[in-house]
Structure 1
C-alpha cells in the first residue's frame, strides 16, 4: 500500500505502559481507503493502536499522521448521564440558534451558528432512525438510555460528523441482535476510511481487508474474514509441509554428520594401526596423518555447516506456524444432579425490569440463555439474583454456590496487581497456587504482577474469570453477562470448550447467538416488556 494513498501512517512507533510493558517497538503501519478489520489475539495492542491513532495516547517515539478528521468509538464508552441526546450529537448549539430564529430572534450570531445546517434536526432524527433510535428524540438525557443505546447514539454522532477516518473498537459489544444488524448495515455503507476492531464474525464479513496484528507487526489479507481464514488455512498447510521437509532435512544432515564422523574414526584407527605395526615408514605415516586430519576437518566442517543451515531452515519454518497460547480453564468439581434446585425466584420484581412469573425455578444442570433487547433488564435481573441490587418486591434465592461475571468486568481493583486481585477471592490460597492459576490464563511470571488497570478487554476477562474460579467454594451456578465481549476468537473457542465441561448450571445473558448455540443451551428465555417467556433461536432470528 503506497504512503501517498494512505490515511493513517505510523512510522517507527514505540509505546510502553508506565509499568514498562512494551506494546510496540519500531512499529510501521499504513492504512488506505476502504473498510479494514483489525484482528489479533487479546493483548496484542489493537485497542492501544486505535487510541494512539485517535490521540488518546501518545507514543514515546515515532510519528502518527492522519489525513483528515478522525472519529473514534472506544471499546468502553463512558458518557455523562446528564447530557442530552442533542449534546452527544453535538448539534445542541445549532438547535438552540434555530429555535431562537424560529422564535423571532434575528441576532446575526444565530445565523452564523446555523450556517448551512438548517435541516440538522431532520438529518439527526433520520440518522437516529437508521440505527433504531428514532424513538428516543433529541431532548432525552443519557441516563434514560441503555448501554447499547448509548453506543448507537455515539455512532450516530460520528455518522453525522462524517469524519475522514472512522475508528471503531468492538462496537457490537452490548448490542442486541436488531441493533447489531443496524450497525452492520452502517459499516457496510460507510464510504470513507474505516478501521474496526471486533470479534463479531458477521461484522468482519463486511470489511474489504483484514489487518492481522501479530508479534508487533501487521500482515495484510485482501477480502473479508472468510477470505482471510481461507488464505490463512492455505498458509498454515504450506507452513506445516515446510516444517516436515525441514525436519526431514535436519534428520538427514544429522545422519550424514554421524556417518562422516564414524568413517573418519575408522580411518584414524586404521592409520594408527598401520603406524603401530610399522607397515609404513614413520615419515610417510606422519604425512598421511596430517593429510587425514586436514581432510577430516574439512568434511566435519562441511557437514556441521549443512546441519546448521538445515536447523536454521527448520526454525524459519516453525516461525511461520501459528501456535497461539490459549487459556486453559480447569473447572473444579461442580456437579449438579438432575432435578436439584439451584435458583428460585418468588414474586420477584426488579428495579428496572418487567414483572416476572410468580414462581420461577432453575433445576439441575440447566443451561439457560437469557436474551432480549438492550434495556430489557437482563443485567438488572442477574445483579438482583446475586444480591447486588435490592428487589422492589419478592426474593431471589440461590440454592448452591454461585458466581457472577459481570458485563463491565468490575470485579477487579485497577490499583492492585493480578496476583493481589486473585488473592482477595482466595485468601487461604498460597502465592504459588495463585500464580499457577494465573499461568493457566496466560499471566505468567512478571505479567501476573501487572496492575489490573493496564489490561486489555480480553486480558481483563481472563483475569476476572481466574479470580472467580479460584474462589471457594467452587461455583455450581455460573451467571455470565455478555461473556464474549472483548474476547478474541481463539479465547471464545476455549471458553466454549470450558463451559461444555462445566457440570453445574449456567445462566448466560448474551446477544451472541453462535456462542450460545455452541455451549449447549437447553432453554431460551426472552426478557421483554411483557415479562419472561420461553423462545427459540429461530424466533429470535426473525425479530
Structure 2
C-alpha cells in the first residue's frame, strides 16, 4: 500500500509501442515526497515512466496518480533555437508584454499578460545569475547558448515555476564540472517533490531516497545511491546464499528419496522371496506384503512431498536472484604498433604526439570548443583558436555526443550493417547480441530507442566497423549509460589495442581508465593537466 505521503502512485502501468514492443509491463509502485533518484538498467523504461507521470504519454493500461501539478524536463530538450532565452525561463509572455508596455503600447492584453509580475525582468536576470549566465543572455536566442547553458537556463526556469512535482531526465548530461556543481546547488534547494533519472553518481548522492525500476516493480530505499547500492548488493548476496542452500536441500531430499526407494525395493524383494520359498505361512506373508506396501506408499508420498517442497523453495529463492544481462564489449585489434604515431595535438607553443595505444582525455568548460575539435579531427585536421590537431591514421571511429549520425528511420540492423558492409548479416546480429540488441529488436527503427539503447547501437556501429578503427574518438561516452554498462565500457577501453581520444566531464570514469595524458582546452589553448 502506498503511504499517505506518496507523490506519485503507479498501478499496473503498461506501455506498448505501435510496433508491439513493450516499454513498461505492468509497473506498480509509489514515489514519496522529497528528492528521489530513479535508477535502472538502460531500456528499463525510466524515461517512459516519467513521460507517463507527466501526462505526456498515455499508458496502454493502468493508472498514475499524482498529488499535484507535474512539470518535466526531458532528456532531449526540444528547444527551438530561434526562441528567446526568456522562453526557457518560462517568462517569455510576461516579459514581452512588459517591454511592449514600456515602449508605449497600452493594449489591454499586455496588462493581462503581465498581471502582477511587474518585476519579471529583474527576476529573470536573477535566475540567469544564479546559474552563472550573464544578464545579456536574456536577449539572446536558445541557439546562441551551448548545450550546457541551455540545460541550466531550463532548469532554473523550471525551479522558479515551483510545480508540486518536478521530473528531471538526465539533467547533467553534457554539463561541465562547474555546471554540474550548479545543478547540485539547484537540487539541494528544490521546492516540492523532485524525481531525477540519472547515471551521475554525484547527483544521485544528493537524493533523499533511491527508486529502482526493475521489471514490473518500482522499489524505493531511503537514502542516496550509495545506500541503495549497498542494500541491493546485500540483498543479492542473501538471495544467492538462499538459492545455494535451497539447491542443497533439494539434492538432499532427492538423495533421501532415492535411498528410501532402494531400501523399500530391497525389502520387497526379500519378502517376495520368502513368500515364494514358503518360509512363512501364506496368510502371514500376504499380510506383511500388504503392510509393507502401505508403509512404502506412505513413505514415498512423504518423500515426494519433501522433494516438491524443496523444489518450490529453490524456485522461490532463484526468483530473488537477479539474472541481469550485461553488455559484453569485445573490441577488435586494429594492429597499432606501440610507437606508431596516431594523433598530434598542439597550440603553437608545444606539440603532443599520441602513439599506439595511448588514452588521452580532453577536458574543459562547456563552450570551450572540445566537440568542435573532435568533430574536425575525424575529418582530417582541426583548429580551435591556436589549437591544431591531426590524425595520422586512416581508420578513425567517432562516437559523437549527440548521436545524431544515426538515421532515425533506419532499422538497428541496417544502421550497423552500413558501417560494416563486408561483414555477413548473421555475424552482425551475433555481435549486436553482445550489446543486448537481440531478436526482433534489431528490426526496430533507431528513432524508437531510449537514450541508452541508442548509445549501444551507435557504439556497436563504431566498434563493428570494417576495418576496425585505429583511433577511437569519443565525446561524452558515459552519457545515457547505466552504471553496469559504464563498467563494461571501462574494461573494454582498458583492453583496447588502439588509441583513444575522449571528452568527458565524468572524473570517476576518467580516473578508472588509466590516462596517459589529460589536456584542458581553455581560451583556444591546450594546457596539460595531471592525468
How does the TM-score come out when normalised to structure 2? 0.94
Q: Is the 8 A contact 1:23 1:216 kept in 2?
A: no
**TM-superposition CA deviations, 1:205-236 (whole Å, max 9, x none):** 11111111111211110011121122223222
Contiguous gaps of at least 5 residues in structure 2:
none
Alpha-carbon shift at residue 343 of structure 1 (Å)? 1.8
CA distance in 1, matches of 2:106, 2:328: 68
Q: Which residue of 1 aligns with 2:358?
A: 366
Aligned CA distance change for structure 1 residues 187 and 240 (closer, same or farther; 3 Å): same
Matched, 1:230 2:230: yes
1:333-352 alignment, distance < 5 Å: 333-344=333-344
SS at match of 2:111: helix
Q: Is the 8 A contact 1:126 1:134 kept in 2?
A: no
1:254-273 alignment, distance < 5 Å: 254-273=254-273
Q: Which residue of 2 aligns with 1:352?
A: none
1:148-167 alignment, distance < 5 Å: 148-167=148-167
CA distance in 2, matches of 1:49, 1:369: 35
Alignment length, in residue pairs? 529
**TM-superposition CA deviations, 1:248-274 (whole Å, max 9, x none):** 211211221111111111112112211
Q: Which residue of 1 aligns with 2:94?
A: 94
1:29-108 alignment, distance < 5 Å: 29-108=29-108
Q: Which residue of 2 aligns with 1:412?
A: 406
Q: Which residue of 2 aligns with 1:510?
A: 504
**TM-superposition CA deviations, 1:170-190 (whole Å, max 9, x none):** 110000000000001111111
**TM-superposition CA deviations, 1:367-387 (whole Å, max 9, x none):** 110111111111111111111
Q: Is the 8 A contact 1:3 1:9 kept in 2?
A: no
Q: Which residue of 2 aligns with 1:351?
A: none
**TM-superposition CA deviations, 1:374-425 (whole Å, max 9, x none):** 1111111111111199869987343242101111123432223222222212
Aligned CA distance change for structure 1 residues 496 and 390 (closer, same or farther; 3 Å): closer
Q: Which residue of 2 aligns with 1:451?
A: 445
CA distance in 1, matches of 2:444, 2:112: 52
- Out of 477, 498, 502, the position equivalent to 2:471 is 477
CA distance in 2, matches of 1:48, 1:442: 19
CA distance in 2, matches of 1:331, 1:136: 47
SS at match of 2:137: coil
CA distance in 2, matches of 1:418, 1:446: 10
Alpha-carbon shift at residue 160 of structure 1 (Å)? 2.0
Alpha-carbon shift at residue 90 of structure 1 (Å)? 2.8
Q: Is the 8 A contact 2:257 2:304 kept in 1?
A: yes
Alpha-carbon shift at residue 512 of structure 1 (Å)? 0.4
CA distance in 2, matches of 1:26, 1:356: 60
CA distance in 2, matches of 1:68, 1:98: 30
CA distance in 1, matches of 2:132, 2:380: 31
Q: CA RMSD in A?
A: 2.2
Q: Which residue of 2 aligns with 1:524?
A: 518
CA distance in 2, matches of 1:135, 1:296: 91
CA distance in 2, matches of 1:244, 1:136: 65
- Out of 379, 385, 391, the position equivalent to 2:377 is 385
Q: Which residue of 2 aligns with 1:541?
A: none
Contiguous gaps of at least 5 residues in structure 1:
347-354, 538-543
CA distance in 2, matches of 1:203, 1:442: 27
Aligned CA distance change for structure 1 residues 269 and 402 (closer, same or farther; 3 Å): same
Alpha-carbon shift at residue 359 of structure 1 (Å)? 5.3
CA distance in 2, matches of 1:288, 1:32: 69
CA distance in 2, matches of 1:395, 1:30: 51
Q: Which residue of 2 aligns with 1:174?
A: 174
Q: Which residue of 2 aligns with 1:460?
A: 454
CA distance in 1, matches of 2:417, 2:270: 70
Q: Which residue of 2 aligns with 1:349?
A: none
Aligned CA distance change for structure 1 residues 90 and 513 (closer, same or farther; 3 Å): same
CA distance in 1, matches of 2:111, 2:136: 28
Q: Which residue of 1 aligns with 2:429?
A: 435
**Segment of structure 1 superposing worse, 184-193 or 227-236:** 227-236
SS at match of 2:398: strand
Q: Which residue of 1 aligns with 2:204?
A: 204
Aligned CA distance change for structure 1 residues 333 and 490 (closer, same or farther; 3 Å): same
Alpha-carbon shift at residue 193 of structure 1 (Å)? 0.5
CA distance in 1, matches of 2:291, 2:435: 60
Alpha-carbon shift at residue 77 of structure 1 (Å)? 1.6
Aligned CA distance change for structure 1 residues 446 and 195 (closer, same or farther; 3 Å): same
CA distance in 1, matches of 2:10, 2:263: 58
